[in-house]
A = this chain, B = another copy of it.
Amino acid sequence: MRVGVLTGGGDCPGLNAVIRGIVRKGVQEYGYDFTGFKDGWRGPLEGATVRLDIPAVRGILPRGGTILGSSRTNPLKAENGIRRVKENLAKQEVDALIVIGGEDTLGVAARLNDEYGVPCVGVPKTIDNDLSGTDYTFGFDTAVGIATEAIDRLHTTAESHMRVLVVEVMGRHAGWIALHSGLAGGANVILIPEQPFDLEQVCSWVTSRFKASYAPIVVVAEGALPKDGDAVLKDGTLDSFGHVRLSGVGEWLAKEIEKRTGKEARTTVLGHVQRGGTPSAFDRWLATRFGLHAIDAVRDGDFGKMVALRGTDIVRVPIAEATARLKTVDPALYSEVSVFFG
């Protein structure tokens, strides 16, 4: 039995822990051989491989990133993509593929498995925690921890200068990082993509915080938008939204708050530090167990499934189902947390 492994999409703390779990159990308990595919789906598409055995996974547990490399290559969009993937898997004599990735990467796995007969097992990965079917994805706890530590630090700066500090955290479509780090960091306002915000309400929270002689911290997910988003977009400051982040929602918000409340406001965009470096203990635990259970699914021939966390158990759910829709923040949960606003 030869198993291929690939990691796709943005890097995420815990990827190496998954790979190590897969290989250690696969080799030691099942006697499998492994082929590492380089840079996500680019590997099977172009036949780019790396050696993957016990020595290759030594010492990688605490290391961020992925020893396999990653990319956003999508074989479904490449010419003859499916055919080339199948040919390369055959050439490598790979019997099954473990695919570690987020919505896009796993979406390819679901179709390859369900429509093209390539036996795939999925492992959910995203620091954004927005994959359905699993309580948490690994990487998320690390990202929340880093953001919380940053917010802890920013409180004293805000207080010393009686300024508003706006902290922009990751989360394009889901507010999980903002919600968790904002709550844990004692933020006074938390803004998430799921709930378009009312700028007047934000300013009133900011003002009430100052009235109590404290300085407010506003945590905003990069994908959060004001209720009248159109107007905002028109003034051109949001057009570079996304990766480049030259004038993201954080900067825009700080300027609006200054204008409307007369208080100084500063922005910190946490950026890539949220996704790099050593995983938290929780993420190492979760990622390792995902790896151990993914190779079990291969052994069981239980393909088309993704390993997932339910409570403290690792279960298997159909990949297609897990990637069908984003897991966003429930309004009730946002409302629960809002008791701390203002």
Interface residues of A (CB under 8 A from B): 10-11, 13, 15, 24-25, 28-29, 58-59, 61-66, 69-71, 135-136, 141, 144-150, 152-157, 159-162, 165, 180-181, 183-186, 214, 243-244, 246-247, 251, 266-273, 275-278, 280-282, 284-285, 288-289, 292, 310-312, 336, 339-340
Which B residues lie within 8 Å of A24 (CB)? Answer: 339-340
User: Please, which residues of chain B bring their CB within 8 A of the CB of A161?
Assistant: 10-11, 69-71
Would A292 and B63 count as touching, CB distance under 8 A?
A: no
Chain B residues with Cβ below 8 Å from A29 are 339
Known interface pairs A246-B246, A268-B271, A292-B339; 13 further A-B residue pairs with C-beta atoms within 8 A, sorted by A's residue number: A10-B161, A25-B339, A59-B186, A63-B156, A64-B160, A65-B157, A66-B160, A69-B160, A69-B162, A153-B276, A268-B273, A269-B269, A280-B280
27 A–B contacts, CB within 8 A, in A order: A10-B161, A11-B156, A11-B157, A11-B160, A13-B156, A24-B339, A24-B340, A62-B152, A64-B153, A64-B157, A70-B161, A135-B312, A148-B284, A150-B273, A152-B278, A153-B272, A153-B273, A154-B272, A154-B273, A155-B276, A156-B277, A181-B281, A184-B285, A266-B271, A268-B271, A268-B273, A292-B339
* Contact in complex: B284, A184 (CB < 8 Å): yes
Assess A277 versus B152: contact at CB under 8 Å? Given A69-B162, A183-B288.
yes
Contacts of A183 in B (CB 8 A): 284-285, 288
Q: Tell me which residues across on chain B come within 8 A of A310, comparing CB atoms.
A: 311
Each complex incorporates copies of this chain amounting to 4
Residues on B with beta carbons closer than 8 Å to the beta carbon of A64:
153, 155-157, 160
Distance (whole angstroms) from the CB of A243 to the closest CB of chain B: 7
Within the assembled complex, what's the spacing in Å between the Cα atoms of A267 and B156?
Answer: 25
- Minimal beta-carbon separation of A10 from chain B (angstroms): 8
Contact assessment for B184 and A281 in the assembled complex, using a CB-CB cutoff below 8 Å: yes
Is the pair B28, A339 in contact by a Cβ cutoff of 8 Å?
Answer: yes
Q: Write out the residue numbers on chain B whose beta carbons fall within 8 Å of the beta carbon of A311.
A: 135, 310-311
Contacts of A339 in B (CB 8 A): 24-25, 28-29, 292
Cβ-defined contact, A70 with B266, below 8 A: no
A105 to chain B, nearest CB (A): 13
Given A24-B339, A271-B269, A310-B311: A282 in contact with B141 (beta carbons within 8 A): yes
Instruction: With both chains docked as a complex, state the minimum distance between the C-beta of A246 and any C-beta of chain B, in angstroms.
Output: 6
A10 to B163 alpha-carbon distance, docked (Å) = 12
CA distance A238 to B136 in the complex (A): 41
List chain B residues, Cβ under 8 A from A281: 141, 144-145, 147-148, 180-181, 184-185
Kindly identify which residue among B61, B246, B282 contacts A282, using a CB–CB cutoff of 8 Å: B282
**Chain B residues with CB under 8 A of A284:** 148, 183-184
